[in-house]
């Protein structure tokens, strides 16, 4: 047997096992997709689904993707484009060289990815859900073979059967309005003759009310991206819109207003004023914003009602971090951005802080949290992974864990 086919069959077997082991369907599909992608050596893979019911919007939406740019806002009309056609007809389409595709626009949603080889296999399950799995580009630059695409088609059938067997699958994925839209954002730093390219074309959407966790190796550009989203820095190029307004090249004054009116920041170091007690630290911020929350109320939210008079030196790290969360809340921000808020804390105090974050999100605030801690991803609505200045994976968590369930 062709070694690449043998490899693909091994992947099929492995993916089947991953699906059997998985506790939830999401996990099954995610693991299955990952194994399969490795099996056929694809650079990117996407599960698209269409809500086939009458109440659906008649479009096909991305469900999971790996190795692709952020596809969240993408959708295809049923029957239109490769993905829409495969979902409607439930027949595979294979462009082993992309030059064979008669309409290159079919994969235009793969922004920034040069598509050379692609195939799309149907995926069906239950009455209401019909979708497909799209595989894009072999990692080694060669083309997918027919045999590989056949194995993947079989795998999609296996995954589809898992969907039918699992009643927990919800037919649609609900998220809030898009409040931030980041497209092709780059950031370069120039020191003398040396130019460091840190962000290399980031695409991302942020939805109202979601808990988004941003993960990636040290130096990959997480804080740089957060600073741009928070209006503390300008991108070198690209677009950053908040509620439809372009901020990429906004004036300092406009950015200051944007920060003041919308964003609360929480950092790894608490940055509290040492000579002010907890309440005074909050009142200092409250005096700068138009419609502040009462300082006492904010301290109650973070469970520090009893510690209002304490100075930072009289509080534990976890308590100080909770004061800094309360300080962010005083502004009544629509979005909280937290850069490694628990990195300096031990396990127990980290959980205390995360419980507060969970409460804030449950009350409607959008949260973007940078962390190194994989376990915290379990609390998130979506996990965005960055590598080398780009987003390379966005996954949706449909079964969120509570802060108190996390263990490390």
Print the binding letters for residues 224-243 with ligand ATP: x by CB under 6 A, - otherwise: x-------------------
Residue 97 to residues 86, 117, 306, Cα–Cα distance (Å): 18, 5, 67
The minimum distance between CB 203 and Mg ion, in angstroms, equals: 20
Q: How far is the CB of 325 from Mg ion (least distance, A)?
A: 18
What's the min distance (Å) between Cβ of 230 and ligand ATP?
12
Round to whole Å and give the CA distance between 272 and 29. 44
Which value, to the nearest 10 degrees, does the dihedral of the CA atoms of residues 18, 20, 21, 22 take?
A: 80
CB of 221 to ligand ATP, least distance (A): 4
Q: How many chain residues are in contact with ligand ATP, going by CB under 6 A? A: 12
Measure CA 182 to chain center: 12
Our CB check for Mg ion shows the closer of 16 and 223 to be 223
279 with 292: CB under 8 angstroms? Answer: no
The interface partner of residue 220, options being ligand ATP, Mg ion, none and the CB cut-off 5 to 8 Å by kind, is: ligand ATP
Nearest Cα neighbor of 157 from 57, 27, 3, 36 is 36
| 198 touching ligand ATP, by CB under 6 A | yes
Beta carbon nearer to Mg ion, 28 or 376: 376
C-alpha dihedral, 225 to 63 to 15 to 385, nearest 10°: 0
> Across the strands, what pairs with 266?
338
Part of the chain binding ligand ATP (CB under 6 A), chosen from 83-91, 220-228, 273-281, 309-317: 220-228
Q: Which residue number, 387 or 402, has a Cβ lying nearer to Mg ion?
A: 387
Write a three-state SS string for 26-94: HHHHHHHHHHHHHHCCEEEEEEEEEECCCCCCCEEEEEEEECCCCCCCCCEECCCHHHHHHHHHCCCEE
- Between CA 170 and CA 161 the distance in angstroms is 15
Could you tell me the end-to-end alpha-carbon distance of the chain, in angstroms, rounded to an integer?
44
**Stretch near ligand ATP under the rule CB under 6 A, chosen from 43-51, 189-197, 294-302, 313-321:** 189-197
Per DSSP, which regions of 234-321 are E strands?
237-242, 245-246, 263-266
Applying CB under 6 A, the span of 85-93, 143-151, 217-225, 274-282 interacting with ligand ATP comes to: 217-225
Q: Tell me which residue has its CB nearest to Mg ion.
A: 223
Residue 354 site contact among ligand ATP, Mg ion, none (CB < 5 to 8 Å, cut-off depends on kind)? none
Q: Could you say whether residue 347 binds ligand ATP (CB under 6 A)?
A: no
Site stretch for ligand ATP (CB under 6 A), options 42-50, 222-230, 307-315, 355-363: 222-230
The footprint of ligand ATP (CB under 6 A) covers 189, 191, 196, 198, 216, 218-224
């Amino acid at each position: 047997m062709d070694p690449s086919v043998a490899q693909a069959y091994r992947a099929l077997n492995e993916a089947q096992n991953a699906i059997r082991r998985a506790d939830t369907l999401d996990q099954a599909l995610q693991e299955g997709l990952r194994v399969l992608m490795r099996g056929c050596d694809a650079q990117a893979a996407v599960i698209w689904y269409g809500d086939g019911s009458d109440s659906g919007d008649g479009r096909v939406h991305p469900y999971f993707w790996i190795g692709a740019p952020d596809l969240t806002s993408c959708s295809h009309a049923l029957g239109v484009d490769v993905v829409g056609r495969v979902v409607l007809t439930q027949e595979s389409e294979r462009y082993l060289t992309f030059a064979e595709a008669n309409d290159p626009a079919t994969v235009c949603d793969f922004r920034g990815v040069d598509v050379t080889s692609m195939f799309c296999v149907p995926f069906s399950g239950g009455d209401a859900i019909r979708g497909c799995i799209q595989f894009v580009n072999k990692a080694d630059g060669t083309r997918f073979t027919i045999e590989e695409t056949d194995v993947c088609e079989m795998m999609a059938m296996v995954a589809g059967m898992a969907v039918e067997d699992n009643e927990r699958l919800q037919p649609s994925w609900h998220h809030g309005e898009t409040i931030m839209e980041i497209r092709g954002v780059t950031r370069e730093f120039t020191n003398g003759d040396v130019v460091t390219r840190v962000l290399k074309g980031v695409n991302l959407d942020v939805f109202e009310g979601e808990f988004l966790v941003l993960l990636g190796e040290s130096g990959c550009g997480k804080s740089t991206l957060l600073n741009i989203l928070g209006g503390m820095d300008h991108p070198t190029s690209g677009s950053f819109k908040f509620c439809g307004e372009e901020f990429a090249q906004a004036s300092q004054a406009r950015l200051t207003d944007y920060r003041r009116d919308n964003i609360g920041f929480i950092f790894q170091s608490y940055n509290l004023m040492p000579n002010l007690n907890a309440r005074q630290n909050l009142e200092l911020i409250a005096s700068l914003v138009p419609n502040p929350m009462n300082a006492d109320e904010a301290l109650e939210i973070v469970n520090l009602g009893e510690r209002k008079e304490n100075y930072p030196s009289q509080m534990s790290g976890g308590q100080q971090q909770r004061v800094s969360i309360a300080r962010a809340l005083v502004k009544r921000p629509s979005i909280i951005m937290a850069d490694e808020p628990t990195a300096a804390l031990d396990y127990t105090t980290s959980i205390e802080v995360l419980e507060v974050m969970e409460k804030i999100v449950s009350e409607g605030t959008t949260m973007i949290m940078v962390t190194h801690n994989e376990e915290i991803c379990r609390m998130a609505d979506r996990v965005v992974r960055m590598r080398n200045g780009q987003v390379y994976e966005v996954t949706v968590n449909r079964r969120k864990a509570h802060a108190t369930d996390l263990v490390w």
